[in-house]
A and B are shown apart, each in its own frame.
Chain A
Amino acid sequence: MSLAVPNHLSVIELELKRQTKMRGVYSLTIFVALVLFIILGFETANEANSGGFLQGFSQLLDFPIDIIKMSFDAGWGWFYLLVEYFPALMETIHMAILATFIGFVGAVVVSLLASQNLVKNTTAVSLMRRVMDFSRAFPELVIAMVLLFLMGKSAVPALIAIAFHTVGALGKLFSEVNENADMKAVEGLTANGANWFQQVRYGIIPHVLPNYLSYGLLRLEINVRASTILGFVGAGGIGEQLTANIQWTYGADVTAIFVLLIVTIIALDYLSRWLRGKLIASGASVVG
């Protein structure tokens, strides 16, 4: 039994088929272009490099095997290394927490001014957005290297670098949260004569705070890694120890530091997941 389709519907049906076909053609073209692009890219890179792509693979496992061997040779002394590097780890974590906190506060201020629904002046909003873009554009490493050169080797340049980058990174996320906030509460407060600060404090903050904190915790995780890396370039903490020990090929020390870092990241992950769960369950009435 064939369906008798009215004429005007069969026209739509035909058009749909044609569009589907066109879409297929487009997709295939793009796919082929991408594949070609990748193959050509490989060729170019291969020619430019002194070695081939595959050459390094045979050496890839040499270093891990070496350091694991050395760790076994260290015997029970290896566990003492965990204690020895713990203060350096704490330094790194402190650096990350402080930088995240400073960046968080900055991001809240900047994001509120960069939200179209809260600031009517479009010039100000776009200016604030550019400020965020600017602070996000520079990786922590670049800022830290410049500041370390200017200020000498200490944790402060790293702190500034991470906080600066965090303002941009969190500010961007926060302003999106702000712009998605339900404006009904703000309207209600406006209608009873609240000023801008009061509207934001009571109309927006209680609504967005759980999201802020959730993103903030995620950023803390990222910043612990960042402050580790900044240790490589002389900001102190566990990163500095790690890079020194890798250069000296003290295998046992390297594995001890790795274990500390991995445990820290896992612990932070659990902690932030637990906290975020609590935040979402209780909303912001506790803190807001």
Chain B
Amino acid sequence: MFSVSNVSKHFGEVRAVDDASFSIAEPQMVGIIGRSGAGKSTLLRVLNRLADATSGEVWVEGEDILSFKGARKREWQSNCAMIFQQFNLVPRLDVLTNVLLGRLNKHRTIPSLFKLFSAKERLDALMALDRLGISSIALQRVETLSGGQQQRVAIARALVQKPQIVLADEPIASLDPLNAKIVMESLRDIHDTDGLTVICNLHTLDTARQFCDRVIGMSEGRIVFDGKADNLTTEVAKSIYGASEDFEESMTSTAIGSDNNKPSREDLQIKELSTVDA
């Protein structure tokens, strides 16, 4: 159904994505983990066609989507919803309009410039907002919302696109733990209820373990792990995060309720500074 084969993306000498291959046979919730700069974002951007790959192919239903151009390419982008760390909504427009903008690709240019969306589309948009529990703020302007609310608006926009696949680039990296949980649960629900493949970039291992069926680990542009989260050993995790001997999985955690990553009392005490006399 979805097959990434030997995809590379180079920025000059830097190999942001280096010969990445994986395939997804049936709808899955996939988490891509790795530290900053591992190439996770670049990989998703290549899949959505926001960035062009240097080489490689991505096969979807018998077609190489990396070869698409113009309207074909935009149609693919419409089928491949993307959610961003910084939400990437239009702050000055209201929530409902922002969600409806997910339908732009389905309209001809001139009508779309005058916000001529159908009643069915408006209903769909409201349903999507309701599903995410934010229909009450449908007419509020996006810039007045909290980060968690904005990310849910972005997910609603992805839903009205009626995509084949949902990509989420660090969707919870700028959210507090509670909102992060809500957003991850919404993404999981899209997979469970709508049967869509969701590929989600994550910083943290425990989120991937909790929500994803499959984990892909990236390090310096290369895929270094691909399998069930349970098979991820501490050794592999160390190599993914490039961590030293004292690495513990909990160090990467930002989730609620994992008490073991709280700093000890001693750590919190400010060490006395030794003053130097002149």
List A residues at the B interface (Cβ < 8 Å): 1-4, 182, 184-185, 187-195, 197-198, 201-203, 206-207, 283-285, 288
> In the docked arrangement, what's the CA distance between A4 and B90, Å?
56
Complex A-B: 25 CB contacts under 8 Å? A3-B278, A182-B91, A184-B84, A184-B88, A188-B84, A188-B89, A188-B157, A189-B90, A190-B77, A191-B50, A191-B84, A192-B82, A192-B101, A192-B102, A192-B157, A192-B158, A193-B78, A194-B104, A195-B71, A198-B112, A201-B112, A201-B113, A206-B93, A207-B92, A283-B141
In the complex, which residue of chain B has the Cβ closest to the Cβ of A203? B90
Query: Do residues A285 and B141 form an inter-chain contact, with CB atoms below 8 A?
Result: yes
Minimum Cβ distance to chain A for residue B92 (Å): 4
Q: How far is A184 from B82 in the complex, measured between Cα atoms in Å?
A: 13
Task: Determine the residue in chain A with the shortest Cβ distance to B107.
Answer: A198
Residues of A within 8 A of B71 (CB): 195
Contacts of B82 in A (CB 8 A): 188, 191-192
B77: nearest residue on chain A (CB-CB)? A193
Chain B contacts for A206, CB-based, 8 A: 90, 92-93
* Contacts from B to A (Cβ < 8 Å): 48, 50, 71, 74-79, 81-82, 84, 86-94, 101-102, 104-105, 109, 112-113, 141, 143, 154, 157-158, 161, 278
Q: Which residues of chain A are near B79, meaning CB under 8 Å?
A: 193
Question: Considering residues A3, A192, A206, which has the most beta carbons from chain B within 10 angstroms of its beta carbon?
Answer: A192
Cα distance A187–B278 when bound, in Å?
56
Determine how close the nearest CB of chain B comes to the CB of A151; give it in whole angstroms: 35
Report whether A185 and B88 are in contact in the complex, using a CB–CB cutoff of 8 Å: yes
Whether the pair B93, A193 counts as a contact (CB closer than 8 A) is: no
- Further pairs besides A195-B105, A288-B92: 4, Cβ < 8 Å: A187-B84, A191-B82, A194-B101, A195-B104
A17 to chain B, nearest CB (A): 21
Interface of B is mostly: helix
Q: Is A283's CB under 8 angstroms from B50's CB?
A: no
CB distance from B110 to the nearest CB of A (A): 9
Q: Is the CB of B86 within 8 A of A193?
A: no
In the complex, the answer to whether A193 meets B92 with C-beta atoms within 8 Å is: no
Evaluate contact between A191 and B109: CB separation under 8 angstroms.
Answer: no
Chain A residues within 8 Å of B88, by CB? 184-185, 187-188, 191
Assembly CA distance A130 to B76 (angstroms):
37
User: Is the beta-carbon distance between B93 and A190 smaller than 8 angstroms?
Assistant: no
CA distance A193 to B106 in the complex (A): 9
- The minimal Cβ–Cβ distance linking A30 to chain B, given in whole angstroms, is 41
Q: Contacts A198-B113, A283-B141 given: A192-B78 contact, CB under 8 Å?
A: yes
The smallest C-beta distance from A189 to any residue of chain B, in angstroms, reads: 6
Which of B92, B104, B278 has most chain A Cβ within 10 Å? B92
Smallest CB separation, A207 vs chain B (Å) = 6
Q: Which of B87, B89, B93, B94 has the most chain A CB atoms closer than 10 A to its own CB?
A: B93
In the complex, chain B residues whose CB is within 8 Å of the CB of A189: 90, 101, 104
Pairs A-B, 9 closest by C-beta atoms: A188-B88, A193-B78, A193-B105, A191-B82, A193-B77, A206-B92, A193-B74, A194-B104, A4-B278
A2-B74 Cα distance, complex, nearest whole Å:
69
